[in-house]
Structure 1
């Protein structure tokens, strides 16, 4: 995969030395609260190593990038196309900023914009989609600023911390993305 440089971050390949950074967040309740239920139970070192190895070898169903500091290439998080439907030209996005200290600086928004540009320009996808919990207001603002629109709401779909929350489905079409770009 190519490296995609932005203003403050770059999207780069996974590396073996990313393991400690990934391990730092996979069992951090403040981070995984906003992620899917695959993080409901503690993740063992071996599971994280297997995931990273699959990404390194291209054996994962997903394709993705590490979100890294532009100057140092240090790990900040990751953004993946977790599933690509090549027939219908649809990709499903997952993103995580791996530490609370990196949140609120625009790194996720910049990474999303880089991935969206890559998905539409280079992969020729027609649609991107994602799901977000209704209490994750920061992420919803990020996705909206990148052009995603709410397309559906699964009421009381997710149970977390003793209550039910809605899951918001958001999508972005290539045609809508082009309206805000000088893209051919």
Structure 2
């Protein structure tokens, strides 16, 4: 896949040498607190290696990018389109910023905007969707600023840290995104692609 460049970051291919960076966050409670129950238990090295291998080998129903610093390509996190439904042109987004030092600096929002643009204009998807915990207010603000709308709420769907929390379902249609884009621009710079 091509690389997609923004103002401060790029979305680039996964590499074998991303493994140590991935290992730093997969068992970090401050990071995985906001992620799915896949991270409920400690992840052994072999699991992370198998996941990276599956990405490097390619899959028909997923596409992924590393969120990397624009100047030196250093790993910041990752953003993936999983469970792509090619017939109906739908992709489900998962994103992680891999270190708390990058939280709240807009890297996730910029990565999301780059991925949205790529998904709609290059992959010809029509709909993007994601789920987020109701307590993850920073992420919800980011997704809303990218054009996502709340489409549903699964009440008390997940048990997190001794209490039940809601899972918010969000979606973005290409037609809505195009309307917003025509009015405001996409907010990510040129978004040029290089191979």
TM-score in terms of structure 1 length: 0.97
**Corresponding position of 2:62:** 62
Aligned pairs for 1:118-133 within 5 A: 118-133=118-133
**Corresponding position of 2:105:** 105
**Corresponding position of 1:37:** 37
Range 60-69 or range 149-158, more displaced? 60-69
| Runs of 5+ unmatched residues, structure 1 | none
Deviation at 1:139, TM superposition (A): 0.3
The number of aligned residues is: 183
Q: Which runs of 4+ in 1 moved over 6 A?
A: none
**Residue 113 of structure 2 aligns to a residue in which SS?**
helix
Deviation at 1:57, TM superposition (A): 1.2
Deviation at 1:180, TM superposition (A): 1.7
**Residue 123 of structure 2 aligns to a residue in which SS?**
coil
Aligned pairs for 1:17-28 within 5 A: 17-28=17-28
In the alignment, the residues of structure 2 paired with residue 57 and residue 145 of structure 1 have an alpha-carbon distance, to the nearest angstrom, of: 33
Residue pair 2:61, 2:85 contacting (<8 A) in 1 also? no
**Residue 180 of structure 1 aligns to a residue in which SS?**
helix
| Runs of 5+ unmatched residues, structure 2 | 186-195
In the alignment, the residues of structure 1 paired with residue 63 and residue 123 of structure 2 have an alpha-carbon distance, to the nearest angstrom, of: 11
**Corresponding position of 1:160:** 160
**Residue 181 of structure 1 aligns to a residue in which SS?**
helix
In the alignment, the residues of structure 2 paired with residue 47 and residue 62 of structure 1 have an alpha-carbon distance, to the nearest angstrom, of: 18
**Residue 181 of structure 2 aligns to a residue in which SS?**
coil
Greater RCO between the two (CA within 8 Å, min separation 6)?
A: 2
Aligned residues: CA RMSD: 1.1
In the alignment, the residues of structure 2 paired with residue 99 and residue 60 of structure 1 have an alpha-carbon distance, to the nearest angstrom, of: 29
**Corresponding position of 1:173:** 173
**Corresponding position of 1:115:** 115
Aligned pairs for 1:135-150 within 5 A: 135-150=135-150
TM-score in terms of structure 2 length: 0.92
Range 117-126 or range 59-68, more displaced? 59-68
Deviation at 1:152, TM superposition (A): 0.3
In the alignment, the residues of structure 1 paired with residue 64 and residue 83 of structure 2 have an alpha-carbon distance, to the nearest angstrom, of: 10
Confirm whether residue 48 of structure 1 aligns to residue 48 of structure 2: yes
